[in-house]
A and B are shown apart, each in its own frame.
Chain A
Amino acid sequence: GAVVSQHPSWVICKSGTSVKIECRSLDFQATTMFWYRQFPKQSLMLMATSNEGSKATYEQGVEKDKFLINHASLTLSTLTVTSAHPEDSSFYICSASMNQGSTTDTQYFGPGTRLTVL
């Protein structure tokens, strides 16, 4: 149980194009979803938190106009990297929580999406 999927698992795009990454909770309803970015051999950095039906909350330093997050249903959140540039190349990981962001909630992580911008 508590499976989270991401699609695509990897994507290569040209500089200036936009890329959409999907995060789905397959067997539970995800009230809260999180988007992380992970650079090679480094830890995960939280980018934003989204609750179903409301606007995402972005961490300091994350450009909300560049990283568009939509959490339209209890099982789907999307991250769109707009006008991608090579410095946006990274491993993007989503996670999902069943509850409204309680401190004891377990976050269930997706397998990640490797984005390479040429």
Chain B
Amino acid sequence: AQSVTQLGSHVSVSEGALVLLRCNYSSSVPPYLFWYVQYPNQGLQLLLKYTSAATLVKGINGFEAEFKKSETSFHLTKPSAHMSDAAEYFCAVSGGSNYKLTFGKGTLLTVNP
């Protein structure tokens, strides 16, 4: 079985500040990890994914995430927040013979001017 825990349902940062969204996973097989972003009333857009290559993954819009097996974490970061980054962010895991995505509950990011 696989699961994802996103710490903090709501994160608020100032424009220009560091963004850190936390994701911890549980998986009995080597995981594949994903971060998606959802803007209001829209579907999900892939930000980045980890598929057992480099542990530091760079994605779109300046986001990156680091896979840390020892900590079972895949936290999402961005050095400087923009107003346009305000959205809901979902971490997801798949792995082994299970290609289905299991999503975390999401973290709402607000960016203050």
For chain A residues 33-70, which have a beta carbon within 8 Å of chain B? 34, 41-44, 46, 49
Chain B residue numbers with a CB within 8 Å of A49 are 100
A103 near B44: Cβ-Cβ < 8 Å: no
A104 near B51: Cβ-Cβ < 8 Å: yes
Interface residues on B, range: 20 to 34
The smallest C-beta distance from A114 to any residue of chain B, in angstroms, reads 7
Chain A residue numbers with a CB within 8 Å of B101 are 34, 44, 46, 107
The smallest C-beta distance from B94 to any residue of chain A, in angstroms, reads 5
Chain B residue numbers with a CB within 8 Å of A44 are 44, 90, 101, 103
Judge whether A93 is part of the interface by a CB distance below 8 angstroms.
yes
Cα(A109)–Cα(B104), bound, Å: 16
Q: B105 contacts which of A42, A104, A111 (Cβ < 8 Å)? A: A42
Judge whether B98 is part of the interface by a CB distance below 8 angstroms.
yes
Residues of A within 8 A of B (CB): 4, 6, 34, 41-44, 46, 49, 93, 95, 97, 101-112, 114
28 contacts between A and B (CB under 8 A): A4-B43, A34-B101, A42-B106, A43-B90, A43-B105, A43-B106, A44-B44, A44-B90, A44-B103, A46-B100, A46-B101, A93-B44, A95-B43, A101-B99, A103-B95, A103-B97, A103-B98, A103-B99, A104-B32, A104-B51, A105-B99, A107-B101, A108-B46, A109-B36, A109-B43, A109-B45, A111-B42, A112-B41
